[in-house]
Structure 1
Amino acid sequence: MPNIHLSFSSSYNSDQGSYKLLELPSELCKLVEESLKGTKPLKFDIKGESTDDAVLCTNDRTYALRSVALSNSIVVATSPPYSSAIDFPEDTLVIRDQVNEILELTPVVPKLHKLSTLLRGTEYSEDNEDEDMESNGEQKLTYSDAKSLIQASNVELEKGLREKRILQVNGGLRPIASSYLSRIIELVLNTLVSQSIDHKVASVERLSAILLDDHEIPRPISTQVMSWFGTIEDGTWCMDVASVIKECGLTLLRRHKTDPQSVEQFTTAWKTMVGDTFASEVSMQLLAGNYLLGSGYDGTDTLTYFPASSLPTEPAPRFAYLFLTRSRWKSEDITPFLSDIAVNSKERDKLLLKYARPTTTSDGIWYTSRTQYNG
């Protein structure tokens, strides 16, 4: 064993608390190794306001930062500074700090719910197409602002903006009104049929021109909507049929927040809305996590609009709300309402074990609450 001389740094007192140890999970170690080889650039962002729990974001994932106390202290030692006036012996390490905890990283779902609060009152509809928020004295939330304020990676933020149907208009972010989005989707479907345009290779220029000339839908709006419901490459739009059919189903479903409708009547109206070309693609599975099944007076199956996006974002309140809504849930019925608060199915199952009690019966697994709630 080589002999090492240890010495306290002259700035030891001022350096205390300056160093933090970060424990990297295997996937982040791989990113660091690739960066050291020069194959991929590496950038980590720490995000969170003073009232938030900090998160670390890579380009495509978000991790919670949690402090874990160490049973044994760790000494941070470095080589002596070159500018030091002290003549240190060879093989000397200078003690700079003492660490009593490490920062642990755990994958978490991105905290996108803050978007709804930040964008409240800025909905974009056909009634205010030419409206500029700044000219009306309202503050724009820009994409750059969102990257700074929202605790999510860039990839997750982009996905969140698409899924929450948030437009970029005149430099600001604005959620599109569901009624306006529904109108645009219907116009797109009708145009594809009337103009005999293949939905797999539709010209973005032609489609957006028709929507502008015949229906006064601005090009930047129609193009963004197309990008939400398919892929645009080299000026050609390939429609994602499932996502368009789902949006049409949600349009109809939103009309039944309090008044249940029979599943049969609903699916018939849904097929009529999407037209004969896509009627065969209609499936209630597309709307999982957005409705509750019930039973009508005549015994027919009914559904009511009940979107997971409107539920609390933290696990404990989410389960409380679900079990106040229903005291018992079948496994396949409750899991769609948990997908947005768990990073994967393994994490979702952990949440179920923590907050729900499973019971196996002849018709499957049922969950009841581990806590009693008064409805």
Structure 2
Amino acid sequence: MDHNLRFSVSSFTEQGSYKLMELPPELCKVMEESLSEGGDSNSSSFYIKGQPGEDAVLCTQDKTYTIRSVSLSNSILVVTSPPDSDISFDGGDNGLPNIVIRDQLSQILELTQTVPKLHKLNTLLKGKEYGEDEEDNEDGMNVELAIDHSQNMEHFTYTDARAMIQASETELKSGLRQRRILQINETLRPISSIYLTKIIQYILNTLAALMLNHESVPVEKLCTTLADEHDVPRIVSVQVMGWFGDINEIDGKWKMDVNSVVKEAGLGILKDAKDRSYDKDHLISTWKDLVGDKFNSSVSLDLLAGNYLIAPAAPYSDHQVVKYFPISSLPIDPAQRFSDLFLTRSKWKNEDIVPFLSDIAVNSKERDKLLLKYARATTDAEESDNS
């Protein structure tokens, strides 16, 4: 279709005012669905996040994307109908529609899905651990007093985290859950590992003592028992149950996730060992004792993948020791991550190194790209290693 075309009288002042963003197919689909009749407008909300000194990211409700400028071989013209104020436009007598050039673009913004930048939580919440020595009660009032006075620390709230952490809403909530961070009176507090292990043990002992079905535990009964017998405030116990299972708000029952509870119990034992290695057989035995007869069949080192290293107790020995080596202690930058991993071990089996890459790659395809970039596959008579 033909048009009358000319530059806008404001083109010089408007230059650089426009940006074109290329949406990946999944975002195009979200936009199209939200624009259709009856679409969910909330699902199409996009947010640009980034503090000074950080590269900006775009966040949807459940994903995070890096934003990268890509140069174009040909310029793109941004054109619109003439603004009402542009009375100087002379369309001529040909009766064709009038359009004006508002800007010329030589770059577009490209989006690539990336892992959420949750590692910043470790720094922001350092020194704010919530432990057994807190003076709490059922309504949380003493918790607030402890934060304001005895701890003498600045509040860091969920609202602060939403503003400062480069992650989508879904990813942020999942990150807080995975990092075992409590929300007490809107303030975020990572729970002490020692205290969490004790609460896990209290829960398992209570289920056994009261003969409760772990797939249908009355929330109020468990909370009351934990508060009365172990001084665990309800505001804490309910969140812990949410981390390790599903709470049905309708019938007030909790369905425990056995594997996640058993895993946390094993992590607690490993963390308590600190810098010393744990005899593998002794670790398994201690772990089984902690979770009890009903759940000890679920004990497996596979549950702790990405949190430990295993090695012979001595050269040429068949006896093995396990050492706490959490993925959370490694750098988030891929180059530094691989450097630290290969300083720890000169050679890795593929299945051993993969768990330590889960938080720097959005999927297995991206993970394999990192392996190709930073590692070299070698083969000997027995096995293939990344080295």
Could you say which TM-score interval applies, normalised by the shorter chain?
over 0.9
Partner of 2:31: 32
Partner of 1:324: 343
Whether contact under 8 Å (2:307, 2:324) holds in the other structure is yes
Query: How much does 1:126 deviate?
Result: 1.6
* Post-superposition CA distance 1:255-292 (Å, at most 9, x none): 33432222111111111110000000011100001111
In structure 2, how many angstroms separate the alpha carbons of the residues matched to 1:133 and 1:256?
Answer: 29
Q: 1:73 to 1:218 in 2, by over 3 A?
A: same
Query: How much does 1:13 deviate?
Result: 1.1
Partner of 2:6: 7
Query: How much does 1:216 deviate?
Result: 1.0
Task: Out of 180-189 and 128-137, give the one that drifted further.
Answer: 128-137
Match of 2:363 among 333, 344, 353: 344
- Give the counterpart letter for 2:9 in structure 1: S
1:244 aligns with 2:222: no
Partner of 2:129: 123
SS of 2:376's partner is strand
Whether contact under 8 Å (2:270, 2:278) holds in the other structure is no
In structure 2, how many angstroms separate the alpha carbons of the residues matched to 1:318 and 1:312?
Answer: 5
Partner of 1:284: 301
- Give the counterpart letter for 1:320 in structure 2: S
Q: If the length of structure 1 is used for normalisation, what is the TM-score? A: 0.95
SS of 1:127's partner is coil
* Post-superposition CA distance 1:300-343 (Å, at most 9, x none): 01111111111001100000000001111111111110111110
Q: 1:72 to 1:318 in 2, by over 3 A?
A: same
In structure 2, how many angstroms separate the alpha carbons of the residues matched to 1:87 and 1:355?
Answer: 58
Q: Report % sequence identity.
A: 54
Whether contact under 8 Å (2:82, 2:89) holds in the other structure is no
Partner of 1:133: 147
In structure 2, how many angstroms separate the alpha carbons of the residues matched to 1:174 and 1:247?
Answer: 18
Whether contact under 8 Å (1:132, 1:170) holds in the other structure is no
Q: If the length of structure 2 is used for normalisation, what is the TM-score? A: 0.92
Match of 1:97 among 100, 103, 117: 103
1:314 aligns with 2:333: yes
Query: How much does 1:134 deviate?
Result: 3.1
SS of 2:67's partner is strand
Match of 1:354 among 326, 350, 373: 373
Query: How much does 1:87 deviate?
Result: 4.7
Partner of 2:79: 77
Query: How much does 1:137 deviate?
Result: 4.3
SS of 1:254's partner is helix
SS of 1:237's partner is strand
In structure 2, how many angstroms separate the alpha carbons of the residues matched to 1:146 and 1:275?
Answer: 38
Name stretches of at least 5 consecutive residues in structure 1 with no aligned partner: 369-375
* Post-superposition CA distance 1:71-97 (Å, at most 9, x none): 111111111113432354241211101
* Post-superposition CA distance 1:339-359 (Å, at most 9, x none): 111101110000000000001
In structure 2, how many angstroms separate the alpha carbons of the residues matched to 1:245 and 1:254?
Answer: 14
Q: 1:159 to 1:165 in 2, by over 3 A?
A: same
* Post-superposition CA distance 1:175-232 (Å, at most 9, x none): 0011111111100000000001111010111100111111111101000000000011
In structure 1, how many angstroms separate the alpha carbons of the residues matched to 2:343 and 2:89?
Answer: 72
Whether contact under 8 Å (1:112, 1:157) holds in the other structure is yes
Whether contact under 8 Å (1:257, 1:306) holds in the other structure is no
SS of 2:342's partner is helix
Query: How much does 1:160 deviate?
Result: 0.2
Partner of 2:166: 151
Name stretches of at least 5 consecutive residues in structure 2 with no aligned partner: 136-141
In structure 1, how many angstroms separate the alpha carbons of the residues matched to 2:254 and 2:282?
Answer: 32
SS of 2:101's partner is strand
Whether contact under 8 Å (1:80, 1:88) holds in the other structure is no
In structure 2, how many angstroms separate the alpha carbons of the residues matched to 1:93 and 1:67?
Answer: 27
Match of 2:235 among 189, 204, 220: 220
SS of 2:268's partner is helix
* Post-superposition CA distance 1:111-135 (Å, at most 9, x none): 0011111111111112124343234
Partner of 1:18: 17
SS of 2:166's partner is coil
In structure 1, how many angstroms separate the alpha carbons of the residues matched to 2:278 and 2:147?
Answer: 39
Partner of 1:371: none
SS of 1:226's partner is helix
Whether contact under 8 Å (2:194, 2:272) holds in the other structure is no
1:142 aligns with 2:142: no
Matches within 5 A, 1:232-311: 232-233=247-248, 234=250, 235-297=252-314, 298-311=317-330
Partner of 1:231: 246
In structure 1, how many angstroms separate the alpha carbons of the residues matched to 2:244 and 2:325?
Answer: 23
RMSD of Structure 2 on Structure 1 (CA) = 1.3
Query: How much does 1:147 deviate?
Result: 0.4
